Amino acid sequence: MNLEIIQAVVGWCTVINFGIILFWFLLFALAHDWIYRFHGKWFVMPVEKFNAIHYTAMAVFKCGILLFNLVPYLALRIVG
C-alpha cells in the first residue's frame, strides 16, 4: 500500500463518518418525537435526559471523527 491509497481510504472514511453524523442529527432534529417514542418502549427516561444523551453521543462521535479521521487525513495530505 502506498501513501495515496491510505490517504484516499482515510479521506473516504472521513466523508462517510460525517455523513453518518449528519444523518443522525437530521433524523434527531426532524423525527425527535418518533425516536423518543421508539426508545421509550425499552428505556423510561425524561425527554431532557434523552436529549442530553443524544447530544453528548453526537459530540463524542464528532470528536472521534476529528481525532481519528480528519487529523490523520490532513497529516497525510501534508506529508504527501
C-alpha closest to that of 50 among 34, 61, 66: 34
pTM given for the model? 0.91
**Which one is predicted more confidently, 48 or 1?**
48
Mean pLDDT (the chain) is 97
Structural domain spans, the chain: 3-79
How far is residue 41's CA from residue 45's CA, in Å, rounded to a whole number? 10
Taking residues 12-26, report their average pLDDT. Answer: 98
State the distance between the two ends of the chain, measured CA to CA, in whole angstroms.
14
